[in-house]
Amino acid sequence: MSELNKEVLDLVWGRPSSGGVSASIFRRWTQGFVFSENEHTALEQFEGGPCAVIAPVQAFFLKNVLFNRESSNWRQMTEEEQKTELCSTLNEILESACASPTTGFCLVTWAKGQSPHASVHTKSQTESQSQTQDMPAPESSQPPQEQQPNALAAKDLDFERFHSVLHKRTVMSVSELKEEVLSLYHAWRGCCGVLLFLYSILMIYTLLSCKNIRNEIQDTMEPLIDPVHGHGSQSLVNLLVTGHAVSNVWDGDRECSGMKLHGIHKQASVGFLTLMESLRYCKVGSFLKSPKFPIWILGSETHLSVFFTKDMCLVGPESPTEQARRVFQSFDPEDNGFIPESLLEDVMKALDLVSEPEYVNLVKSKLDPESLGIILLGPFLLEFFPDQDSGIPDSLPVYHYNGLKQSNHNERVEYVEGTALVLGFEDPMVRTDDTPVKRCLQTKWPYIELLWSTDRSPSLN
């Protein structure tokens, strides 16, 4: 492989000190993009790890299906429609990773005659079929469910052999890219399709120089795929969601001990929320929390799933209460839920509230009657925005996706339907569950309540 390819491999897998990349971790990443037999618009994940690619692709796929497709039944699709929508989604993500269309696009696929046959199950079959011509597989007349197990038929394709049979295709225009992505549909769906797509993104992103991505990743020694557990890094998720492989989820760049730490620089099309924020490990900025479309990737300690709705009201313009909460929290970087009373005047000025010293002192005495020296967020919002309407309906239908069979009810990858109540304040009369999904969503909507149609709440893991 060329030096550029070697550097891309180091970015993805790191530089193992001994023994190379773990065979079990590599095997987990060798699946393709496969649709669930029970949910026509849901991708299935076979083992832990590749959710870092599959969940963002699922989120963009849902965006296109829900808001760009002229069909009332978004959960039903023919195989041909799946092909069209999946390739359109992959193309969109690939385009977003390109610094400049004039530099062209690079796709990674199988070398001629080296593509594993979709029905490979044994080593002897692999060896005989790898000698066949690399011809596009014909459109199958079989229903998708009969082909699904075949997408993870890579038991005998180890790390070294896989990387010895790859080929780069370069195209110079957006229209050519669209045609090539469509022509590679069977490669995306088949063995190692997720890795082929990941490498294609990185080759496009680093077409000029791997320094592009090295400059954005905070810890350049951290690979995109964890060598111990096989999970994708935040940089990898951010690359697929925003087109930039930054390591952080806050808005903009920050200075820390003289070092610039890169964050998110514009509103994303789909969002990201994480349980880690509820545990105070990080703080997601508004560019990811408030995306253009009401679809959020949800992160737990080990897995990614997707929460979404068809109702655009969840991503409408920021209400005065939401603005006040955001501004207040900007003066509370540690997310304590309060600020020193000395900062109250600055908060009021930032919100264009009356901020004359006499009035500020009056507000202080009212919000801090015990003279504790702090101003709590809740009383502050009730004082200045007591009856604000968020513009969100009393209740709205929502859905949750988890690509792992074992994380779904009856081990069937299907959307879990529910009803969300997005309240502006805590109501003890409306108290539902206290699950990881809810705690994750509360980082965006502090007083959200969820009623699911299933006996058990959906799983983040």
Residues 404 and 330 reside in one and the same domain: no
Q: Is 379 helix (H, G, I), strand (E, B) or coil?
A: helix
Residues 337 and 424 reside in one and the same domain: no
Whole-number Å distance between alpha carbons of 406 and 205: 34
Whether 133 is in a domain gets the answer no
Residues 27 and 164 reside in one and the same domain: yes
Residues 368 and 412 reside in one and the same domain: no
Residues 32 and 100 reside in one and the same domain: yes
> Smallest Cα–Cα separation from 59: which of 401, 376, 338?
401
Mark which of 180, 200, 215 sits at the end of a domain: 215
**Position 130 confidence tier, pLDDT thresholds 50, 70, 90:** very low
In order of 92, 341, 425, the CA distances from 379 in angstroms are 44, 13, 11
Cβ neighbors of 182 (< 8 A, separation 6 or more) are: 83, 84, 87, 91
Tens digit of each residue's pLDDT (9 = 90 or more) over 31-47: 999 999 999 999 999 99
- Report pLDDT for 299: 97
Residues 45 and 2 reside in one and the same domain: yes
Residues 356 and 412 reside in one and the same domain: no
Give me the domain span that covers residue 327.
320-385
Please count the structural domains in the chain: 3
- Report pLDDT for 219: 66
- Report pLDDT for 225: 94
Mean pLDDT over the full length of the chain: 84
Residues 30 and 171 reside in one and the same domain: yes
Over residues 95-110, the mean pLDDT reads: 84
Residues 199 and 338 reside in one and the same domain: no
Whether 169 is in a domain gets the answer yes
Whole-number Å distance between alpha carbons of 28 and 231: 10
> Smallest Cα–Cα separation from 89: which of 116, 69, 63?
63
What are 344's two structure tokens? 């109250």
Over residues 23-32, the mean pLDDT reads: 93
Mark which of 215, 243, 258 sits at the end of a domain: 215
Q: Does 142 have pLDDT greater than 60?
A: no
Residues 48 and 165 reside in one and the same domain: yes
**Position 434 confidence tier, pLDDT thresholds 50, 70, 90:** confident
- Report pLDDT for 213: 67
Whether 50 is in a domain gets the answer yes
Q: Can you state the angle between helices 234-242 and 193-205, rounded to 10 degrees?
A: 70
Residues 401 and 425 reside in one and the same domain: yes
The winner for highest mean pLDDT among 40-44, 138-142, 410-414 is 40-44
Whether 314 is in a domain gets the answer no
The string of DSSP codes covering 18-46 is: SS-S-HHHHHHT----EE-SS-TT-EEB-
pTM of the model: 0.81
Residues of the chain with pLDDT > 90, as a percent, come to 55
**Position 221 confidence tier, pLDDT thresholds 50, 70, 90:** confident
Whether 264 is in a domain gets the answer no
Whether 184 is in a domain gets the answer yes
Tens digit of each residue's pLDDT (9 = 90 or more) over 227-261: 889 999 999 999 999 999 999 999 888 877 778 88
Mark which of 194, 215, 236 sits at the end of a domain: 215
Over residues 369-381, the mean pLDDT reads: 93
Residues 81 and 191 reside in one and the same domain: yes
Catalytic residue ranges: 51, 303
113 touches 173 (CB < 8 A): no
CA 360, 363, 368, 374 dihedral sign is negative
Tens digit of each residue's pLDDT (9 = 90 or more) over 258-285: 788 889 999 999 999 999 999 888 889 9
Whether 254 is in a domain gets the answer no
Over residues 194-213, the mean pLDDT reads: 79
